A and B are shown apart, each in its own frame.
Chain A
């Protein structure tokens, strides 16, 4: 089964730029989707098809994908961005979705 690897945590001060990585074998050939999950809440889609953003998501959220790494970038980080972030791809070999282990974003 396809494996996605994320760093367990990322910490930074407000106003800085957070970059959360998602590693996978030739992930650049796949479409990557990102979810934000705040404590006690359901996941919310923040990026789909590598770079697209739902209309309700601020422009501060962006995505990129190339080679073996996809990246979620959160610019001008705010306290309200504190959450777990999960990447997800569709594994065409097994024909089901695969999630990364999640990255906890902490705003200091």
Chain B
């Protein structure tokens, strides 16, 4: 059974950074890409970026380029998403998901709250 388990909720001050983990199991980690997306309260899903599980090649959305870093630890079959220079607009639930063209499964989500 493929499982994606994310780290817990985070609260940050504006200007700080946050790093979320996504621990995977049940499949060959290097065979699939992992994507990260977020959903602000009452808003649509927003794609953030992805990483190739085998090569670690990444691609980020233009909007987040420069603030976003997605990495993997192959030995731990875990992906990490780090977002820097946070503002209130980054308050959202963050998701990791497996796939290349479509996404299945998804992690349970991690709430990040940015507040002074």
Contact = CB atoms under 8 A, between A and B. Distances in A.
Interface residues of A, number: 22
A47 B12 CA distance: 36
Interface in A54-108: 54, 86, 88, 90, 95-102
Q: Is the interface of B mostly helix, strand, loop or mixed?
A: strand
Of B50, B95, B106, the most chain A CB neighbours within 10 A belong to B106
A99 B45 contact: yes
Of A48, A97, A99, the most chain B CB neighbours within 10 A belong to A97
Contacts of B108: 41-42
Contacts of A86: 44-45
Interface stretch (B23-31, B69-77, B78-86, B97-105): B97-105
Nearest to B93: A42
B102 A45 contact: yes
B112 to A, nearest CB: 15
Contacts of A101: 44
B59 interface: yes
Contacts of B45: 43, 86, 88, 99, 102
Interface of A: 31, 33, 35, 41-45, 48-49, 54, 86, 88, 90, 95-102
Give the 3 A-B residue pairs with the shortest CB-CB distance, closest first: A33-B102, A45-B104, A42-B106
